[in-house]
Structure 1
Amino acid sequence: MAVLRVKFTKSKRNKLAQLLWILNWVSVVMGLVLISLGVLLKIEIRKHSEVMASQGTDSVPNMLIAVGAIACGINFLGGKICHDCSDNNRFTRWRLVILPYIICTFFFTFCILVGALMCYTMRGTLEDSLHLGLKQAMSFYKDTDTPGWCFMKKTMDELQFEYRCCGNNGFRDWFEIQWISTRYLDLNSKDVQDHLKSNVDGKYLLDGIPFSCCNLNSPRPCIQHQLANYSAHYNYDYLTEETNHWTTGCKQALLDYYTQIMQSIGLSVLIIWLFEISVLTGVRYLQTAMENVLLQGDPECETEGWLLENNFVEKAQTNFNIINSLHKVDQISTISGMEDHNKDVKTAAYGPDNVPLQTLPTTS
């Protein structure tokens, strides 16, 4: 029994074909929107690629761009098919093509759904990429004279100013690296030498932060150095003085920024997926209704259209019967092969007339 049957007159079939022709052209525009969303996400990721590690962050925008390009082509073809389906003679040209087209479009719409879900599951990959990228960027903060990394100080400062963040996970990350270049240290000074010897690997570590971490709205001058020293500053507690510098890590700030973008893009892609599913459903109804017109041979007749020719139970039973029949055929062929083998053995032993063959005399 067919699933979700709908009756169509000739007028309804023509109106459905015209509507689907329009919707397929709208779907072409949707494909361009998918391409635009992919390009937008790629641009946003490239904007901060200097503080990201290569962790497959381009997979989602590349997926959206590819799916959008396929959408333009497949819906352009769908528009041509639906336009021709309003006439029986032109429908016969597409009769062998329309069912493979529907199957391919079904898997294509599934890819759109995968792209939408990837937008929501990209956060973990992006978090790992930002963690490694920011850690590396902070380690090169002091290398303003090193070719290839001399821009990193400017990048980190602009990032911390723009997103009101400090460090990777927080401002204490700056305590663990040397972020002051040795060219600005007096290496002949005993205090500097003692400081280098007292720290790990001879690095000039200190409980300080760059100026870009300072909160510009702070009611007191920014405290950059000796943040962990209570007595170094009057009326100061670095554990509660949150208004003096940014306490949010840049990884979290960028994650929140990208999460908002990806959720918006993911919602847009889901809406496009629902639209594509509705168009595909209409094409399936049109195809089955036109097939029944050809079977009845009367272009003016009333026909039925459906999504599935059989329901899921009947389809499963049919598939089970097919598999069972194939298994029986295999058993019959196996038994037939064994009988032929036994017959050959018997012929070799007794001859074609069931007469025992004479044993050849042995030579001495």
Structure 2
Amino acid sequence: MVVMKMKFPFEKRVKLAQGLWLLSWLATVAGALTFTLGCILKTELRRRAEVMDNTEIHAVPNTLMVVGLASLGINYFAGRICQDALDAARFPRWKNLLKPYFAVACFFTALMLLAVVMSYAMKGNLEASLKIGLKNGIRFYKDTDTPGRCFQKQTIDWLQMDFQCCGNTDFRDWFEVQWVSNRYLDFSSKEVKDRVKSNVDGRYLLDGVPFSCCNPSSPRPCIQFQLTNNTAHYNYEHQTEELNIYVRGCREALVNYYMGLMNTIGAGVLSVFMLQSSVLVSLRLLQTSMEAVAGQENTEVETEGYLLEKGVKETVMEYMDPVLKFFMLNQVADGPAEGATTAPA
């Protein structure tokens, strides 16, 4: 069954070719924009690589960059095809190239849609990556003299100030790690000795947070230490002093930031996908309408164009059959070699 069959007089074919030429160059610009969006997202993710545990989330920007570059080539050739569409002598040179061209174009267009889906579906992976990455970042906060971790403190401090957050889940995460380096502890002090001895692992733990957790909007000077001790500070109630430090965890802040960024990019790429699909559909109609005038002197005849000559299932199988036969031939060729026996002398 023919899908999307339409009649094309000469004037309509001319308008289709002209409009498609303009649409293909617009899609080329959109492809460059897709590549740029992928680069922006990649850069933003790399900026926070120290607080991320894995690189699975980079699949989204990597896919966007690949389909963006592919879109440039696909739409460039679409523009060239449109230029030759109304010349009966020049158009036949594309005849043998159009079938593989459409196969490649459809693959990368589907990959573009996959990138859109991934940008909305990666929240779980992003959150899991940040959970472990931030936990390690807080844990290594004090290791300013350790190679490879020298800038961990700086990274966490800038992160907490930029995103107005504190800790991984909340500020209490700092209570569970020793974030003050032994280099700055006076072990001759009784208070320090008592704190270290009271801990099973010999760590110096305290109910305090780094300065970067302080909220500059607080009406009082920031209270960093003995946060849960109401008697240690005048007119202080830790359960109501919400302005003193940031109460939101950095994982929540970063997930909201990156998901907002990816959702915005996903909406933009979805628009590019629709534009790219329009180019392919229009180009297919132009191709099939031009094949009817191939070899004719009178190119102004009315022709018919269609999207698919057969049904969707039959068309998919037509493209898949050569691939399946290729793999079947390889299996047959390998079979006798594996089971062959040496004849006796």
Give the superposition deviation at 1:312: 5.5
**SS in structure 1 at match of 2:89:** helix
Q: Describe how 1:188-267 pairs up with structure 2 within 5 A.
A: 188-267=188-267
Off by >4 Å, runs of 4+ in structure 1? 295-298
CA distance in 2, matches of 1:113, 1:180: 48
Q: In 1, Cα distance between the equivalents of 2:97 and 2:148?
A: 55
Residue of structure 2 equivalent to 1:336: none
Moved more, 299-308 or 262-271: 299-308
Structure 1 match to 2:136: 136
Counterpart of 1:249 in structure 2: which amino acid?
G
Shift of 1:200: 3.0
Q: What's the CA shift for 1:80?
A: 1.1
Highest CA radius of gyration, 1 or 2? 1
Deviates more, 1:230-239 or 1:39-48: 230-239
Are 1:14 and 2:26 an aligned pair? no
Note the residue ranges of structure 1 that are not aligned, 5 or more in a row. Answer: 323-364
Identity of aligned residues (%): 51
1:66 partner amino acid = V
**Residue in structure 1 matched with residue 29 of structure 2 by the alignment:** 29
Taking the aligned partners of 1:92 and 1:143, their CA distance within structure 2 comes to 69
Deviations 1:270-295 (A, max 9, x none): 00000001111101111111122238
- Offset at residue 296 of structure 1 (A): 7.5
* Counterpart mapping for 1:72-151 below 5 A: 72-151=72-151
- Secondary structure of the 2:294 match is helix
- TM-score under structure 2 length normalisation: 0.87
Structure 1 window deviating more from structure 2 (15-24 vs 159-168): it is 15-24
For 1:27, the aligned partner's letter is A
Q: Deviations over 1:78-137 (max 9, x none)?
A: 211121111112111112222332232122210110111111122222212211111111
How many Å separate the matches in 2 of 1:158 and 1:109?
A: 39
CA drift of 1:259 comes to 1.2
Determine if contact 1:140/1:149 at 8 Å carries over to the other structure: yes
Given that 1:135 and 1:168 are in contact with CA atoms closer than 8 Å, whether structure 2 keeps it comes out as yes
- After superposition, the CA RMSD in angstroms is 2.1
Rounded to whole Å, the distance in 1 between the matches of 2:178 and 2:18 is 69
Task: Tell whether the 8 Å contact from 1:127 to 1:255 is kept in structure 2 after alignment.
Answer: yes
Q: Is the CA contact 1:102–1:283 (under 8 Å) kept in the aligned structure 2?
A: no
Distance in structure 2 (CA, Å) of the matches to 1:215 and 1:281: 55
Correspondence for 2:38: 38
1:31-55: CA deviation from partner (whole Å, max 9, x where unpaired): 2111111111111111111222233
Alignment partner, residue 70 of structure 1: 70
For 1:38, the aligned partner's letter is G
Q: Distance in 2 between matches of 1:107 and 1:297?
A: 36
Looking at structure 2, the residues matched to 136 and 115 of structure 1 have their Cα atoms a distance apart, in angstroms, of 29
1:293 aligned counterpart, secondary structure? coil
Total equivalences in the alignment: 318
SS of residue matched to 2:7: strand
Contact kept? 1:55, 1:128, Cα under 8 Å: no
Q: Which amino acid aligns with 2:31?
A: G
The one-letter code of the counterpart of 1:239 is: Q
Please state whether the residue corresponding to 1:304 is helix, strand or coil. strand
> Which ranges in structure 2 are unaligned for 5 or more consecutive residues?
322-345
How far off is 1:297 after superposition?
A: 7.1
Out of 240-249 and 2-11, give the one that drifted further: 2-11
Partner of 1:328: none
What is the CA–CA distance in structure 1 between the aligned matches of 2:228 and 2:248, rounded to whole Å? 17
Q: Any conservation in 1 of the 2:88–2:295 contact (CA below 8 Å)?
A: no
TM-score (norm 1): 0.82
Match of 1:153 in 2: 153
For 2:263, the aligned partner's letter is Q
